[in-house]
């Protein structure tokens, strides 16, 4: 995991002490209560050190080190947090979406999240699901509207709650007929907000800014290239593995987050050189097969949230402040750049992994240069 020698010595010393105070002779898993009791007994024995060294927090590392060691051995009994009663309903709803409707994991995740927000809102007001009426659902949307939800978010919420209450009615959790009367605001064609990202010149400036010999910059440059040139999502980059790179055929295989199927791409030479430099000079040797890892201990694969901070932090350091500064903004920048280069919507959609042309058509609305050319068209005296 990339720990320093000093850290290893400290953890080894603590592990020796911990091994004296917990019982590992049987095969049972050690609970957090047993660790706390062992720490209390250890502190009682080491009380003289507290008086001599005036350590107020003697033993602060006892439980953290013990938990890491026991997890590594597979001997720690993870405490189970007490989940709200509605979590079981959400799990049943998610299972139905997955098994009966075969929805994508990203879709299920989004619906679970919003359903949890609604059920937590009910729980805070002590409203049981079996007594919920359409007035309660309208009150929920009104509350969220005051908190800043947009019309599109409200419409999405109404759609998700309709599917949830349809499932709840089939299970007998609520009053019948609620799903048929849930209604959201009307969304007009192409009302969705424009997909805006940084200008392509700003993306090039970011790549030039990251062209240094610093280890994190070498890694971040390869990440930004993948996001901007291939237009991939943060989750797709975080899931990239060493096996997805075929150096002989010069291809890279990206598993699409929504379709769940790998899509091969030719490996652009500049991108390949950036990844190869990262692999040779920066990436630590470890058991992980994921491509991008942290640069500091603990060495673990980067998550989509970590990729957001990578892009956002570098934009801030460079002094570029586009409206959106996360990884998805680079996907928008890629699509807009391809549109200006003259690629068709079908070609851009295939490149981005879009399933429907409507998802790509939004980028035609931001091609202002082309619209100005239409506006400046000389009618030649026709009028």
Catalytic residue positions, numbered: 233, 258, 328, 331, 354, 363
Alpha-helical segments (H) within 147-246: 151-171, 200-209, 215-229, 234-238
- Alpha carbon distances (Å) from 279 to 225, 239, 242, 282, 304: 15, 16, 10, 6, 20
- Answer for the pair 318, 205: CB distance below 8 angstroms, yes or no: yes
Provide the token pair at 52.
């001599």
Strand, coil or helix: 196: coil
Provide the token pair at 233.
């999502």
| 210 CB-side CA count, 13 A | 25
Q: Other CB atoms closer than 10 Å to residue 52's CB: what's the count?
A: 8
End-to-end CA distance of the chain: 73
**Residue that the structure tokens 């009307």 belong to:** 186
For residue 275, give the nearest of 235, 328, 220, 326 by alpha carbon: 220
DSSP 117-158: HHHHHHHHTT--GGG--HHHHHHHHHHHHHTT--HHHHHHHH
**For residues 158 and 163, what is the distance between their CA atoms, to the nearest angstrom?**
9
Work out the angle between the directed axes of helices 327-340 and 304-318 (0-180°, nearest 10): 70
Quote the DSSP letter at residue 313: H
**348-375 burial code (b ≥16 CB/10 A, e <16):** bbebbbbeeeebbebbeebeeeeeeeee
**For residues 262 and 83, what is the distance between their CA atoms, to the nearest angstrom?**
36
């Amino acid at each position: 995991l990339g720990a320093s020698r000093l850290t290893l010595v400290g953890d080894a010393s603590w592990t020796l002490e911990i091994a004296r105070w917990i019982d590992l002779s049987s095969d049972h898993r050690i609970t957090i209560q047993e660790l706390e009791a062992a720490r209390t007994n250890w502190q009682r024995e080491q009380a003289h050190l507290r008086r001599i060294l005036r350590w107020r927090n003697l033993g602060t590392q006892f439980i953290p080190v013990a938990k890491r060691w026991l997890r590594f051995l597979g001997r720690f009994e993870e405490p189970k947090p007490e989940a709200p009663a509605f979590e079981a309903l959400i799990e049943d709803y998610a299972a139905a979406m997955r098994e009966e409707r075969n929805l994508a994991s990203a879709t299920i995740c989004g619906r679970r999240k919003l359903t949890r927000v609604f059920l937590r809102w009910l729980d805070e007001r002590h409203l049981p699901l079996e007594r919920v009426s359409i007035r309660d659902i309208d009150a929920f949307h009104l509350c969220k509207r005051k908190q800043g939800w947009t019309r599109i978010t409200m419409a999405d919420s109404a759609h998700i709650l309709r599917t949830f209450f349809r499932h709840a009615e089939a299970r007998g959790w609520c009053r019948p007929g609620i799903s048929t009367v849930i209604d959201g605001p009307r969304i007009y064609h192409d009302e969705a907000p424009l997909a805006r990202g940084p200008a392509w010149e700003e993306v090039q400036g970011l790549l030039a800014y990251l062209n240094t010999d610093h280890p994190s910059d070498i890694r971040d440059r390869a990440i930004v290239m993948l996001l901007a040139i291939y237009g991939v999502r943060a989750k797709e980059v975080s899931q990239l593995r060493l096996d997805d790179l075929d150096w002989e055929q010069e291809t890279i295989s990206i598993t699409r987050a929504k379709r769940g199927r790998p899509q091969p791409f030719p490996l652009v030479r500049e991108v390949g050189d950036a990844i190869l430099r990262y692999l040779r000079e920066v990436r630590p040797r470890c058991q992980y097969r994921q491509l991008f890892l942290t640069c500091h201990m603990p060495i673990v694969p980067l998550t989509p949230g970590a990729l957001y901070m990578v892009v956002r932090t570098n934009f801030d350091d460079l002094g570029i402040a586009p409206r959106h500064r996360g990884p998805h903004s680079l996907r928008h920048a890629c699509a807009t750049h391809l549109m200006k280069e003259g690629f068709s919507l079908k070609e851009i959609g295939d490149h981005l992994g879009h399933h429907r042309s409507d998802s790509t058509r939004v980028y035609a609305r931001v091609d202002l240069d082309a619209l100005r050319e239409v506006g400046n068209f000389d009618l030649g005296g026709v009028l």
